[in-house]
Copies of this chain bind each other. A is one copy, B any other.
């Protein structure tokens, strides 16, 4: 990509092979990882730029496919060794999952290095990686409009000081409800949200899986339902898809304010619902803008009340 991106979204995170045991069957070697899902989702609205690490086993044609979707892959480092691999098994109703194995491989030595062409990214999504690495990325970008960070229970428990520094420096935190409770050490969602907002970010987005998502900010609380699906196949990456779509929509927004965030949240929930309908990124890959618009209208009707 030599053309200058109009609405760039910098996405840092994992790229992986997933071995998925789903109610519908066993699917080995599914291309996944938080950065992959987020970039695919963001590419529906903006020009993602990915910073990640892959091994020598990662297929070139997957990178070419990402390029063809307008995703800048020049920040993806190919290292000697194998790509990160995760194996997981979902319960019959998809309500829970267990990790069967995690092989960090080249991801263990990931040190995100931004190409010069990424430095001006207006929107930045710090995927769920070690907080120290999230800080290193923040040190490499110049004056972004909005930085959003994800994290996980492992870093909340083991890297709280560094994570606290990340949270202080980002505009938005995008985490799930269990992570929120763990981070705030408070079960009540509203009190937990207040505690996390007091740590620094202007916006807190809480993902609640099949129950939707909530936004907490100075304008109050906003609630978006999950789109009710008849055929759920694979929840893997739905949260990363949500975050990627959110940042993609915000990259297009004339300004980052409560109204645009609320709108972006509805779209993010819509795109995330498609993710669950296919194995890996299969459903995301075939999505058209009109698919998204149609379901977004349906999602709005779920809460719409005539005056």
Contact = CB atoms under 8 A, between A and B. Distances in A.
Interface string A277-307: 0000000000000000000000011110110
Interface string A194-237: 00000000000000101110100000111111001110100000
A211 B95 CA distance: 16
B95 A305 contact: no
A238 B232 CA distance: 30
Interface string A18-30: 0000000000000
Given A93-B187, A263-B305, A300-B305, A221 B228 contact: yes
Which of A259, A305, A306 has most chain B Cβ within 10 Å?
Answer: A305
Contacts of A191: 230
A222 B303 contact: yes
Which of A210, A223, A232, A306 has most chain B Cβ within 10 Å?
Answer: A223
B190 A228 contact: yes
A262 interface: yes
Contacts of A230: 188, 190-191
Interface residues of A, number: 33
A266 interface: yes
A221 B299 CA distance: 9
Interface in A86-104: 92-93, 95
A63 interface: no
A214 B232 CA distance: 19
27 contacts: A92-B187, A93-B187, A93-B188, A95-B187, A188-B229, A188-B230, A189-B228, A190-B228, A190-B229, A190-B230, A191-B230, A208-B211, A211-B211, A214-B228, A220-B302, A221-B228, A221-B302, A222-B302, A223-B225, A223-B303, A224-B303, A259-B305, A259-B306, A262-B305, A263-B305, A266-B305, A303-B303
Closest A-B pairs by Cβ, 6 of them: A93-B187, A303-B303, A223-B225, A211-B211, A223-B302, A190-B228
